[in-house]
Amino acid sequence: MLRRAFFSVGLVLVFVGAVIASGEHKNVELVGRALEEGPAYAIAVQGDYAYLCAGGVLVVLDVSDPTSPVKVGRVVLPGVACGVYVSGSYAYVADRDDGLRIIDISNPTSPQEVGFYDTGDRALDVYVSGSYAYVADYYDGLRIIDISNPTSPQEVGYYDTGDYARDVYVSGSYAYVADSGDGLRIIDISDPTSPQEVGFYDTRDWACDVYVSGSYAYVADDEDGLRVIDISDPTSPQEVGFYDTGHRAWDVYVSGSYAYVADGVDGLRIIDISDPTSPQEVGFYDTGGWAYDVYISGSYAYVADYRDGLRVIDISDPTSPQEVGFYDTGDWAYDVYISGSYAYVADWEDGLRVIDISDPTSPQEVGFYDTGGWAHGVYISGSYVYVADGYGGLRIIDISDPTSPSEVGFYDTGSSACGVYVSGSYAYVADWEDGLRIIDILDPTSPQEVGFYDTGGWALGVYVSGSYAYVADWEDGLRIIDILDPTSPQEVGFYDTGSYAYGVYVSGSYAYVADGGDGLRIIDISDPTSPQEVGFYDTGGWALGVYVSGSYAYVADREDGLYILRFRVPLEVCSSEVGLPSRYKLYQNRPNPFNPVTVIEYQLPEDTEVKLEVYSLVGQRVRELVNERQEAGYYSVRWDGRDDEGREVSAGIYLYRLEAGRFTKVRKMVLVR
């Protein structure tokens, strides 16, 4: 089903997007954040306190009464908090792309970061035993870190688990690893410098997390909920019980006779496991949703927050945004558009919701319309609202009376309508695999397609400015389409944003792209035939939507909520003036496309062996650009479109690959002749 496909793609790519440190930026500064608390990914309990990973925040909850948890403290992290372990006065947080973060929690109401370690890939969970932290580091398997000095952690060993290591628990001389599709892996760590596998159990879905208590391993098994595995014999584990948590079980922690399950957008589920063969739910705590889109009107930001509906944020002081109101739309709020005193929300299977926001602190629903499909995008022009309705195509709704919206026309776009923009008498629809559809809406009761353009990827969002349509095209980045003649649109330029382009907003001569795992990308489109990146800011989670108002860009980040960013017009700065980088990074080449020369830039936070090579799409090496030991710093390398023998290569798509220490990154570039 498409509904499953939309969600599943997002879930997987949380872990397979580009390895870029959250908060890294170029010509963009962070001004403020709101709704940082997102979906629940992990939890640890010590005494009367639970430490909950909720989006980009570690939340401290008083759980002295398990049926009524209360928030008492929090710390905002640079990435997305995926796993946490508490030992003594420290909380060890697996912070995805930002590695292992060590938080002093001696005062639970005021936690403070004191140290960190870059694990190399995506730190998804952590367990502490003695003076070692065991990190489930996705592609890189199990990493073993010496934390005898919490302010200066060091790696001492690792084990490649085979699939994607997402969680780890240590009991005695064994590490139990939740290894995604490979289920539960049991590793002998009696010698931390040389770990060895001794047993495994294939769970039914994706093993996301594991906790061991006594002779049982409790596995958070994604859509299959909580699995209870008997591990009395580590070489032959057996399942004895399970509980369906309702959404997607991503983490589990056991304390006494309770299992605490982080269940994605369904928040915290508390399960009684006094009888491991028959677990029962006894309580829950609702965490934040997933910020999918944002619209600015006056001094308020309106966020479509998935299962948490519409969130209203006061941004009169951009440095300190505050939530002032919300409305539970009923289903999954994907998009929002403000017109007058009403917010129009695309609410997935619940269609169009019309919310009165005349009092932003108390929004009230006044009307709705069941669009029939999956309402994913919304745009208002005059007295009509145009809904991108998934497989239901384009729906045209008369909202002259907001309390009684009625459909007047529709058009079957052919694929799955994800986004829509109206300009003049045309509706431009981002239609998933079918690219850009151009619909004549001069007569709203009888819309007709007049042109289309196959963008090549998955068209998710579209913005029209002047005679150009800017399409956010998933893996294919930003596509720029000349629509001067709507019956014959032509691509004139594109830019590979690096990750997965979800949404786009154009302001002046810049296109602001919400680029999934790579955050916000700012593209200079003063020459639409040759777009160039001039700034970026890596948000902590997945950037899905962007809105520009004045000098601020408001980014809806799925896990990390709302980011308020200010773009600074770029100035030339010598690397010697900006100091040494804190992370490895490979930048998108520029220009791209190019003919015949392009520049590849990268940065090194430490002295290391470096190899930079160009490959064809079939994996054949074309050119070795760098193969030497280099000092920490910023580097720029030119490629002239020739192979190792000095011959010009043909036009097409090429890959360039940077290896530096344990860091590896590949990007695409396009040579035109």
pLDDT at 579: 62
Question: In the structure, what pLDDT confidence band is assigned to residue 295 with cuts at 50, 70 and 90?
Answer: very high
Residue with tokens 């939309």: 6
**pLDDT given at position 285:** 65
Please tell me the distance from the alpha carbon of residue 78 to that of residue 516, in angstroms, as a whole number.
16
Distance between CA 397 and CA 513 in Å, rounded? 28
pLDDT for 381 beyond 60: yes
Count Cβ atoms within 10 A of the Cβ of residue 400 and give its class: 0-12 exposed, 13-18 middle, 19 or more buried.
exposed
What's the mean pLDDT in 18-38? 62
- Evaluate the omega torsion of the peptide bond into residue 596 and state whether it is cis, within 30 degrees of 0: yes
Question: How big is the chain, counted in residues?
Answer: 673
Q: How far apart are CA 323 and CA 335, in angstroms?
A: 18
Question: What pLDDT was estimated at residue 589?
Answer: 86
- Edge-to-edge strands of the sheet including 125-129? 125-129, 132-136, 142-146, 154-159
Separation of alpha carbons 319 and 301, rounded Å: 13
pLDDT of residue 599: 87
- Looking at residue 34, its pLDDT comes to 64
Whether the per-residue pLDDT at 287 is higher than 80: the answer is no
pLDDT of residue 8: 25
Q: What is the pLDDT of residue 483?
A: 96
Q: Given pLDDT bands bounded at 50, 70 and 90, which one contains residue 574?
A: very low
Q: What is the pLDDT of residue 318?
A: 80
Ranges of each domain in the chain: 38-285, 293-567, 584-671
pLDDT at 124: 85
pLDDT given at position 373: 94
Q: How confident is the model at residue 30 (pLDDT cuts 50, 70, 90)?
A: confident
- What is the CA angle 226-228-231, rounded to 5? 145
Q: Quick check: 566 and 552 in contact, CB under 8 A?
A: yes
Q: How far apart are CA 290 and CA 355, in angstroms?
A: 19
Question: Which residue type sits at 638?
Answer: R
Express each pLDDT in 460-474 by its tens digit: 999 999 999 999 999
Among residues 472, 369, 467, 347, the alpha carbon closest in space to that of 419 is found at 472
CB 113 within 8 Å of CB 106: no
d(CA 326, CA 336): 13
Q: Return the minimum-mean-pLDDT range out of 115-119, 246-250, 587-591.
A: 246-250
The tokens describing 372, both together, are 């029939």
Q: Is the predicted pLDDT of residue 588 greater than 70, yes or no?
A: yes
Range among 7-16, 219-228, 584-593 with highest mean pLDDT value: 219-228
User: Is the confidence at residue 347, as pLDDT, over 90?
Assistant: yes
Kindly give, in sequence order, each residue whose CB lies less than 8 Å from that of residue 4, ignoring residues fewer than 6 positions away: none
The answer to whether the CB of 198 falls within 8 A of the CB of 247 is no
**Interatomic CA distance for residues 429 and 432, integer angstroms:** 9
Q: Residue holding tokens 């997002």?
A: 10
The whole-angstrom separation of Cα 237 and Cα 186 is: 9
Contacts of 340 by beta carbon, 8 Å cutoff, 6+ apart: none
Could you tell me the pLDDT band of residue 459, with boundaries at 50, 70 and 90? very high
pLDDT, position 660: 92
Do 293-567 and 584-671 fold alike per CATH? no
Residue 372, classed as helix, strand or coil, is coil
β-strand pairing of 608-615 with 426-430: unpaired
CB atoms within 10 A of CB 468: 20
Range of 6-15, 368-377, 536-545, 617-626 with top mean pLDDT: 368-377
Mean residue pLDDT of the chain comes to: 87
Q: Supply the pLDDT for residue 288.
A: 63
- Averaging pLDDT over each range in 149-153, 448-452, 546-550, which range is the top one? 448-452
User: What pLDDT, on the 0 to 100 scale, is given for residue 217?
Assistant: 94
pLDDT at 320: 82
Kindly report which listed range (102-111, 307-316, 475-484) carries the lowest average pLDDT score: 307-316
Contacts of 16 (CB under 8 A, 6+ apart): none
| Torsion 533-537-541-546 (CA) sign | negative
The answer on pLDDT for 38 being more than 80 is no
Which pLDDT tens digit goes with each residue over 220-247? Answer: 888 889 999 999 999 999 999 889 887 7
Instruction: Give the CATH number of domain 293-567; options: 3.40.1180.10, 2.40.110.10, 2.130.10.10, 2.60.120.260.
Output: 2.130.10.10
pLDDT above 90 (res 351): yes
C-alpha 499/C-alpha 490 separation (Å) is: 24
Taking the whole predicted model, whether its pTM rises above 0.85 is answered as no
Q: Where are the beta strands (DSSP E) in 496-594?
A: 503-507, 510-514, 520-524, 532-537, 543-549, 552-557, 561-567, 585-586
Q: Lowest mean pLDDT of 4-8, 101-105, 390-394, name the range.
A: 4-8
45 vs 106 pLDDT, higher one: 106
| Sign of the Cα pseudo-torsion (334, 340, 341, 342, in order) | negative
Percentage of the chain lying above the pLDDT 90 cut: 50
| Least confident interval from 90-104, 222-236, 258-272, 605-619 | 258-272
- What is the C-alpha to C-alpha distance for residues 501 and 534, in angstroms, rounded to an integer? 16
Q: Which fold has domain 38-285?
A: Methylamine Dehydrogenase; Chain H (2.130.10)
CATH number of 584-671: 2.60.40.1930
pLDDT in tens, 148-203: 999 999 999 889 998 889 888 889 999 999 888 889 999 999 999 899 999 989 99
Tell me which DSSP letter residue 570 carries: P
Query: Where do the DSSP E strands lie in 431-531?
Result: 436-440, 448-453, 461-465, 468-472, 478-482, 490-495, 503-507, 510-514, 520-524
Quote the tokens at residue 670.
Answer: 């396009």
Q: How far apart are CA 519 and CA 553, in angstroms?
A: 12
